[in-house]
């Protein structure tokens, strides 16, 4: 099932069912499971302001993972770049995702710093990046624009 979030009065973030399924593969159900994460890849639609997440990268062997932390390796950038080249430059980098071992996830101080740095340092189109956290019972999404604060997006009943 796809997930739809309200970004502004004219803009929605749509995570396709395919991408949601990829995210749900990494839900931390058991206490042995480590945090997972990657980048979001998708499109800025031409006929509306909507943004679509088509796929996500999966954890890489070079990532450093524990039950309560996740450090993304450079490998995700390489995959994003490769996919971008393969898709004739249509697949955009839209943000970062990771999992939390809690039912309803909330960002840590480190997460917020990570997101601030991504918006400040990463190359991306558009005005903002998106930061889903995959909890055990729900996926919550935060966003940060180039000049704005971090805020959570409201889920739309689609």
User: Rounded distance, CA 106 to CA 137, Å?
Assistant: 12
Of residues 54 and 114, the one with the C-beta less far from Zn ion:
114
What is the distance of C-alpha 88 from the center of its chain? Answer: 22
Window of 51-59, 88-96, 105-113, 116-124 that interacts with Zn ion by CB under 5 A: 105-113
Give the contact letters, 59-98, x = binds to Zn ion (CB under 5 A), - = no: ----------------------------------------
Enumerate the active-site residues: 35
User: Rounded distance, CA 22 to CA 58, Å?
Assistant: 8
Binding-site size for Zn ion (CB under 5 A) equals 2
Q: Contacting Zn ion (CB under 5 A), which of 39, 65, 111, 144?
A: 111
Other CB atoms within 10 Å distance of the CB of residue 120: 9
Asked whether position 114 contacts Zn ion by CB under 5 A, the answer is no
User: Rounded distance, CA 69 to CA 50, Å?
Assistant: 31
User: Could you tell me if 133 and 107 are in contact, meaning their C-beta atoms sit under 8 angstroms apart?
Assistant: yes
Contacting residues toward Zn ion, per CB under 5 A: 108, 111
């Amino acid at each position: 099932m796809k997930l739809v979030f309200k970004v502004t009065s004219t803009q929605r973030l749509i995570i396709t069912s395919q991408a949601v399924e990829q995210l749900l593969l990494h839900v931390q159900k058991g206490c042995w499971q480590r945090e997972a994460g990657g980048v979001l890849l998708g499109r800025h639609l031409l006929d509306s302001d909507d943004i679509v997440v088509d796929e996500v990268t999966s954890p890489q062997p070079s990532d450093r993972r524990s039950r309560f932390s996740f450090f993304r390796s450079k490998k995700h950038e390489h995959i994003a770049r490769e996919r971008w080249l393969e898709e004739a430059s249509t697949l955009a980098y839209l943000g970062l995702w990771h999992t939390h071992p809690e039912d309803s996830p909330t960002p840590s101080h480190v997460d917020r710093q990570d997101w601030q740095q991504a918006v400040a340092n990463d190359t991306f189109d558009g005005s903002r990046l998106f930061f889903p956290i995959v909890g055990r019972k729900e996926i919550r999404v935060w966003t940060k624009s180039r000049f704005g604060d971090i805020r959570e997006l409201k889920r739309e009943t689609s």
